[in-house]
Amino acid sequence: MFDQLRPTLVESPADTAAAIDASEFRTGGRRILIGTDTYPPDVNGAGYFTSRLATGLAERGNDVHVVAVSDKGRAYTHQMDGVTVHRLRSRSAVVYPNQRIVLPGGTVAAVERIFDEVRPDVTHLQSHFTVGRACLRVSKRRGLPVMATNHFMPEPLLHHVPVPQAVRDWAARLAWRDAARVFERADYVSTPTPLAAKHFADRGYSGFIDAVSCGIDLSRFQPRQGDAATARAHFGLPDRKTVVFVGRLDQEKRIDQLIRALPSLRRHHDVQLVVAGVGPYHDALLKLAADLGISAYVHLLGFVSDEDLPRVYHTGDVFAIASVAELQSIVTLEAMASGLPIVGADAVALPHLIENGRNGYLFDPGDIVGIGARLDSILSSAEDLASMGSESRKMADPHEHRRSLERFEEIYDQLVQAAGSRA
């Protein structure tokens, strides 16, 4: 290991990942191949980050190729926001029917053909599953330097498996060990935050880990200018105090806890909960709101385009997140950049973003009374709303996307130089 160191899509008519001559798309700079097991249209944090990383690197003059799971089942290659995306043949996952996976059979051979075509300078893995492993294996055969970024936490995935908790705990330990074995073969490993790095090390990873923020585009996510009523009207929302959350409607996000905290909060404030995102828990969340008699105050916006996403944050007075499975939480950073106070669970990476009394408050995971109390405290004070929102923006500044891209490019250059000196 080296030491210290919603998109516009133009599809190729070809039906194989190697059908496009990669040289047609070379734009100069570094030639970077990113291997990932999740990529848009998948809806999750890792896929979203990987897409923004690839697009950002391409905008900076790099020739970027992504090897990813096919969203259509068949293999094909296409251009997506200035990035060449090589899709590998896939099938639906059993546990997540809306998620597609690549099976091992024939994958290494398909990836070999892509590497022959692309001839990358460096490989950057975003996962350790089938696609990530295949890209790692091919890179090592060819003596190419490999960086890997970990977004993986097995515990949320295992919540969906109908087995006793002891079995899930055992499976999580095995999954962490498996991830560590794969990532230890990379030349350079990063995670989004220092806490995420410690989390990985505590679960068996023995190598050096660098913390490199996923980063956000501060030019897109900015504090609201003017009246919140305008942003609320854009989404057809009533003009009242608003708690906002953005993310997948899934069990691991614990959105039900935000809904359960709302009735007591409404005793003190005319407040509503606005949630932007899609996922399998949509109907269950609506039923919970109905059972609690607060349907009129829980608004699920569904899918929101990238263009409209900044407006979602502008509907809110405060951002709340109950998830305990965040290795960084891009949506929390976006909310901070948008000038919102934050109320979040005291777990994994969220304490890295939230300072009690400065830009919001932490609560004990699962403490619904605590969620309501902290939201009440902020919503009761116009001074806190203003000062905490201002501090959130200041705390988001170091996570500017350009700085993250520059750091990744520095690491790529170091790896390529080190590989060249060994040749």
Separation of alpha carbons 419 and 120, rounded Å: 13
Separation of alpha carbons 214 and 211, rounded Å: 9
| DSSP assigned state of 89 | P
For every one of its 423 residues, what pLDDT tens digit does the chain have, with 9 covering 90 and above?
A: 333 333 333 333 333 333 334 444 344 489 999 999 999 998 888 898 999 999 999 999 999 999 999 999 899 999 999 999 999 998 877 666 667 889 888 999 999 999 999 999 999 999 999 999 999 999 999 999 999 999 988 877 777 678 888 998 899 899 999 999 999 999 999 999 888 899 899 999 999 999 999 899 999 999 999 899 999 999 999 999 999 999 999 888 999 999 999 999 999 999 999 999 998 899 999 999 999 999 999 999 999 998 999 999 999 999 999 999 888 899 999 999 999 999 999 988 899 899 999 999 999 999 999 999 999 999 999 999 999 999 999 999 999 999 999 999 999 999 999 988 665
Task: Tell me which residue of 100, 130, 110 sits closest to 16, measured CA to CA.
Answer: 110
List pLDDT tens digits, range 336-357: 999 999 999 998 889 989 999 9
78 touches 12 (CB < 8 A): yes
Q: Can you read off the two tokens belonging to residue 7?
A: 């998109």
Q: Look up the pTM and report it.
A: 0.82
Q: Can you read off the two tokens belonging to residue 111?
A: 């990836």
Sequence-ordered alpha helix ranges (H) in 37-118: 45-59, 107-118
Spatial CB neighbours of 247, under 8 Å, sequence gap ≥ 6: 253, 255, 275, 276, 277, 321, 323, 331
Determine the pLDDT at residue 238. 98
Q: Can you read off the two tokens belonging to residue 355?
A: 């300072």
Residue 19 — left, alpha, or beta (φ > 0 → left; ψ -120 to 50 → alpha)? alpha
Peptide linkage before 365 cis (omega within 30 of 0): no
Enumerate domains of the chain plus CATH numbers: 9-215+401-422 (3.40.50.2000), 228-398 (3.40.50.2000)
List pLDDT tens digits, range 292-320: 999 999 999 999 998 999 999 999 999 99
84 touches 64 (CB < 8 A): yes
308 touches 368 (CB < 8 A): no
> How far is the CA of 256 from the CAs of 107, 156, 343, in angstroms?
39, 15, 15
191 has which bridge partners?
A: 211
